[in-house]
Amino acid sequence: MQENITDVALELADYARAAREAGKSTSADLNAVIDRLFQAEGEKPEDALAILAYAQLFLVALATLDDPDSDDGVLRGAFRCVHKAVTILEGSTGKKVSEYI
């Protein structure tokens, strides 16, 4: 069964919040949920917003790296999020990105 982007994004937010409150990292759990986020599907604007929130998070992480050249896949993560959001919005609006570029 295909998971929904919004549901996975909310679960990821819960994991991150719990890790912050506990003052520790649950990076293995977070990485697993992030992988699920990239596999999840969506078709509503809410799903696009959910995945764009993580694109923003990846870009903030990239901007705060001491050495942006060693981004550890952060930029690729942001790109994947934006790509999924664009695909969702194209499907929900019937418009193509190429109309604007």
pLDDT tens digits, 24-69: 665 666 777 888 999 999 999 999 999 999 999 889 888 888 886 7
One DSSP character per residue, 43-74 reads -SHHHHHHHHHHHHHHHHHHHT-S-GGG-TTH
Distance CA 35, CA 55 (A): 14
Distance CA 30, CA 18 (A): 11
The domain spans of the chain are 5-99
Q: Which of 56, 88, 87, 51 is nearest to 74 (CA)?
A: 56
pLDDT tens-place string over residues 63-80: 888 886 777 788 899 999
Q: At what angle do helices 45-63 and 5-22 cross, to 10 degrees?
A: 40
